[in-house]
A and B are shown apart, each in its own frame.
Chain A
Amino acid sequence: MRATRRARLLLVVLLLSAVTLTAVDAQGDGLGGVRRTADRLLGPAQNAVSGAVARVTGSGGQDDAALRAEVARLTGELRRSEGLQRRVDELDRLLALSNAGTYPMVAARVSSIGAAFGFGSTVTIDAGSLDGVREGQTVVNGDGLVGRTVRVGPVTSTVLLLTDQGFTVGARLTRAGTIGLASGDGDGGLSYELVEGGSVTVGDALLTTGSDTFVPGVPVGRMTAVRARAGALVTTATVAPFIDASSLDLVGIVTEPPRGIPRVPIQPSP
């Protein structure tokens, strides 16, 4: 083993620089400029190469894409309508509308899949702050919820997929109407915890409840198994997402944040 003094010194300097960078970046957004510059320089090339490859491999044919988008839209519609009956009953009482699919969206194409060494589930999309994308916005496709934006550069953004361990969203069961939290399990699925107990049926679908960051009424996934242990305080269920994370292509970023639940004024009865 021989490593020159110079090489050892270089390694020490580089490691210290890396640790400093990490420490500074973990503290806040002080290094946002560095990220934005890198994205401006590399983003366009990445978008161009990825788009060209998609055209060559045929996954981006115009007719094909339009048809698949239509099928995906209709499937999503079908799933949403599952929860419609229950919602219709509730609408009059709650005066709340879940107008999924009517928010202004920016369309984007997935230009890269995967985080460093496969730790975590993220994708990169070819839209950024220049297209109106901001951090923490809901990302959907025709199948349902894809995730939310976590890093936004000028021309590309990183989307945290709903299957990532760092992802959590409030979600409501379509048939039972129970509210709970769905979190990514890092293994291609989600786990769902009921907030206040209640019944969970295998096969039931989940829609987002809506929050500061998430648009309400977006289909999340379907229950595949329920783990209700005797004596356990919370019921946990496994959820398979509606989206296929391995073949994501076209996605929409909801660029206008939900303005809260639209309310209808109640007329005082005479």
Chain B
Amino acid sequence: MSVRRGALGAAVVLTALLLQSAVLFRIPGPAPELLLLVVLAFAVVEGPASGAGTGFIAGFLVDAGSDQELGRVALAYALAGYLAGVVRTGPDRSRFAFLGAVAAGAMLAVTAYAVEGVLLSDPRTTFTAWVGALAATVAGCVLLAPLVVPMVGVLVRRLDEDPRR
């Protein structure tokens, strides 16, 4: 991985983190998990290794700013990124296969986080909360995926084609 690719990843992840934490919550309704979607987009565009790596770093940043134990969101995002990358490189090569990969990744992220909550006996982890989070996260990610995934794809491809790298 080149320095420029690393810089691109950092820039996209930090932008998404700031947008999600400081802007999106002002819109009425459940705030979409933009950062998770960016992780899944990298996974879809570049594969499971990129998804897991980006997911771990992005999730760690979320952890650092929350009152939860460090590493919880990092684990959930890394798993989700890996799965989305695996599904995307799987047999279904149709044009909209990325939506399936994004949905699968979003589901795994929420569920992994909920399982961690149960293991750590976090009182917030209830069945209702899990179902609500699952619906909101999957819906938000799938709705925004047609916008975000191609954007990340264009950025990564630009970098690949750039002769100066």
Chain A residues within 8 Å of B, Cβ to Cβ:
1-4, 6-7, 10-11, 14-15, 17-22, 24-26, 31, 34-35, 38-39, 42-43, 45-46, 49-50, 53-54, 57, 59, 111-120, 122, 124, 150-151, 153, 156, 158, 160, 164-166, 186-187
CA distance in complex: A55, B22 (Å): 12
Taking chain B's interface residues, is the majority helix, strand, or loop, or is none over half, making it mixed? helix
Decide if B67 touches A160 in the complex (CB within 8 Å): yes
Among B68-88, those with CB < 8 Å from A are: 68-76, 78-79, 82, 85-87
Cβ of B99 within 8 Å of any chain A Cβ, yes or no, is no
Asked if A34 meets B70 with Cβ closer than 8 Å, knowing A17-B56, A46-B22, the reply is yes
Asked if A165 meets B123 with Cβ closer than 8 Å, knowing A19-B75, A38-B65, the reply is yes
**Residue count of chain B within 8 Å CB distance of chain A:** 63
CA distance in complex: A11, B74 (Å): 11
Decide if A45 touches B18 in the complex (CB within 8 Å): yes
Decide if A7 touches B25 in the complex (CB within 8 Å): no
Nearest-Cβ distance from residue B62 to partner chain A, whole angstroms: 6
Chain B residues within 8 Å of A, Cβ to Cβ:
14, 17-18, 21-23, 25-26, 30-31, 33, 47-49, 52-53, 55-56, 59-76, 78-79, 82, 85-87, 89-91, 109-110, 113-114, 116-117, 120, 122-126, 128-129, 132-133, 136-137
Nearest-Cβ distance from residue B33 to partner chain A, whole angstroms: 7
Nearest-Cβ distance from residue B63 to partner chain A, whole angstroms: 8
